[in-house]
């Protein structure tokens, strides 16, 4: 059984690699070769005749180099999927976050407030969590899905999701994997389209190639990148809906595996999940007493301020004793 599970996982991972990284890389590299052949100084006919005149060994070597380049690009894209997704969500460096990130968050907060009466729960965090708004639309969609179990059940999705996902049935797990692969594939296409637009148009401009080819590279790559990103937004909405369904229907399965009985009532269940998440996060036992909810704080009663000229009884006694001593010394000399 374990061998079969590994084999199925390898097949799924292989199909995902071909769809997400290999095929987009192959198309990207092929288009770059076409642009290099058409947009260079030599006409395409001369390049074709030069290719035919090469011996079979040179042709094989060039084909092997092309395939090696495709595999290198595919391997890079496959390993950079998490970084690409986080970049698309709006997790940038400090400098970019303080400039572009601040502008993006402000724009999306204003849009969220303008659409307060519309159903935007699957596109943005709730208006009570304006500090959770991300600078990109994709980031807001995924943040909304991540906040859903916390707001509904008191579940920290970051802690619970790795433990819940292996318990999902095959249908829901397959739907989640498909939606995640579609999201990754569309983001990869958007990235490669942007790179093709910049590199292809730059090469044609430097080589002095046809203006039509320059416009095709620039506008074609830009439009394809825009369309791919729009498709990634739809894929993120579908993925977020599957995540919500997973928590709605199968959080009880995780409790059963943990040996916990699901407590009746929404408030009791929220308290139960908060204890479990606190145990996983900080190691606090689940049977500890939760601190009471903090009520409105009142300012402590302070003693009335004393005047700077007022003296305590001890100070007055010391002053009288000193004055009597001084008087006893001075009176015999008067």
Tokens of 279: 């145990």
* pLDDT value, residue 17: 86
pTM: 0.77
The arithmetic mean of pLDDT across residues 206-234, rounded, is 92
Three-state DSSP state, 308: coil
Return d(Cα 69, Cα 71) in angstroms, integer.
Answer: 5
Return d(Cα 314, Cα 260) in angstroms, integer.
Answer: 66
* pLDDT (tens digit per residue) in 104-153: 999 999 998 888 777 778 899 988 889 999 999 999 999 999 999 999 99
Q: Are 62 and 73 in contact (CB under 8 A)?
A: no
Lowest mean pLDDT among 24-28, 29-33, 205-209: 205-209
* pLDDT value, residue 303: 43
Considering the chain, what percentage of its residues have pLDDT values greater than 90?
45
Q: Is 254 exposed, middle or buried (0-12, 13-18, 19+ CB in 10 A)?
A: buried
Return d(Cα 275, Cα 254) in angstroms, integer.
Answer: 14
168-183 b/e (C-beta count within 10 Å ≥ 16 → b) = beeebeebbebbbbbb
Please work out, in degrees rounded to the nearest 5, the angle formed at the alpha carbon of residue 209 by the alpha carbons of 208 and 215.
115
* pLDDT value, residue 207: 85
135-166 b/e (C-beta count within 10 Å ≥ 16 → b) = bbbbbbbbbbbbbbbbeebbbbbebbeeebbe
Whether 241 has a pLDDT exceeding 90, the answer reads yes
Q: Are 103 and 135 in contact (CB under 8 A)?
A: yes
* pLDDT value, residue 10: 44
Torsion of Cα atoms, 140 then 146 then 148 then 152, to 10°: -150
Return d(Cα 294, Cα 95) in angstroms, integer.
Answer: 37
Distances (CA, A) of 182 to 11, 76, 141, 177: 17, 18, 15, 9
* pLDDT (tens digit per residue) in 293-327: 444 444 344 344 444 444 444 454 545 454 544 44
Distances (CA, A) of 227 to 76, 136, 207, 242, 258: 23, 16, 29, 23, 44
Whether 163 has a pLDDT exceeding 60, the answer reads yes
Among 179, 164, 294, which residue's Cα sits nearest to residue 235?
A: 179
Three-state DSSP state, 58: helix
* pLDDT (tens digit per residue) in 45-59: 777 777 778 788 888
Q: Are 241 and 250 in contact (CB under 8 A)?
A: no
Q: Are 263 and 269 in contact (CB under 8 A)?
A: yes
* pLDDT value, residue 326: 41
* pLDDT value, residue 301: 41
Q: What letter does residue 208 receive in the DSSP assignment?
A: T
Tokens of 219: 């506008």
Alpha helices in the chain (DSSP H): 2-17, 23-38, 44-53, 56-79, 81-89, 94-96, 102-114, 137-153, 157-164, 170-207, 211-258, 266-282, 313-330
Of residues 34 and 46, the one with the higher pLDDT is: 34
Lowest mean pLDDT among 35-39, 62-66, 100-104, 164-168: 35-39
């Amino acid at each position: 059984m374990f061998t079969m599970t590994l084999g199925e996982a390898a097949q799924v991972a292989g199909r995902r690699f071909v769809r997400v990284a290999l095929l987009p890389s192959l198309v990207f590299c092929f288009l770059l070769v076409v642009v290099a052949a058409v947009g260079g100084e030599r006409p395409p006919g001369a390049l074709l005749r030069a290719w035919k005149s090469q011996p079979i060994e040179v042709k094989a070597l060039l084909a092997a180099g092309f395939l090696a380049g495709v595999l290198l690009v595919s391997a890079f894209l496959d390993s950079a999927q998490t970084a690409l997704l986080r970049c698309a969500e709006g997790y940038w460096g400090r400098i970019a976050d303080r400039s572009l990130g601040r502008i993006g968050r402000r724009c999306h907060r204003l849009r969220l407030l303008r659409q307060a009466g519309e159903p935007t729960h699957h596109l943005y965090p709730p208006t009570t969590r304006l500090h959770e708004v991300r600078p990109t639309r994709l980031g807001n969609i995924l943040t909304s899905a991540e906040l859903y179990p916390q707001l509904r059940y008191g579940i920290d999705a970051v802690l619970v999701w790795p433990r819940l996902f292996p318990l999902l049935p095959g249908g829901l797990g397959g739907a989640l994997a498909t939606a995640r692969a579609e999201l990754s594939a569309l983001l990869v296409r958007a990235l490669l389209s942007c790179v093709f637009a910049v590199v292809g148009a730059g090469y044609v401009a430097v080589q002095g190639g046809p203006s039509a080819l320059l416009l095709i590279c620039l506008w074609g790559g830009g439009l394809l990148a825009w369309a791919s990103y729009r498709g990634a937004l739809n894929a993120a909405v579908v993925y977020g809906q599957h995540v919500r369904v997973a928590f709605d229907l199968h959080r009880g399965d995780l409790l059963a595996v943990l040996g916990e009985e699901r407590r009746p009532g929404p408030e009791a269940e929220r308290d139960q999940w908060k204890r479990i998440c606190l145990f996983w996060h900080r190691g606090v036992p689940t049977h500890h007493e939760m601190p009471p909810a903090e009520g409105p704080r009142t300012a402590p009663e302070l003693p009335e301020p004393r005047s700077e000229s007022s003296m305590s009884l001890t100070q007055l006694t010391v002053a009288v004793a000193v004055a009597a001593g001084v008087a006893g010394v001075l009176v015999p000399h008067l």
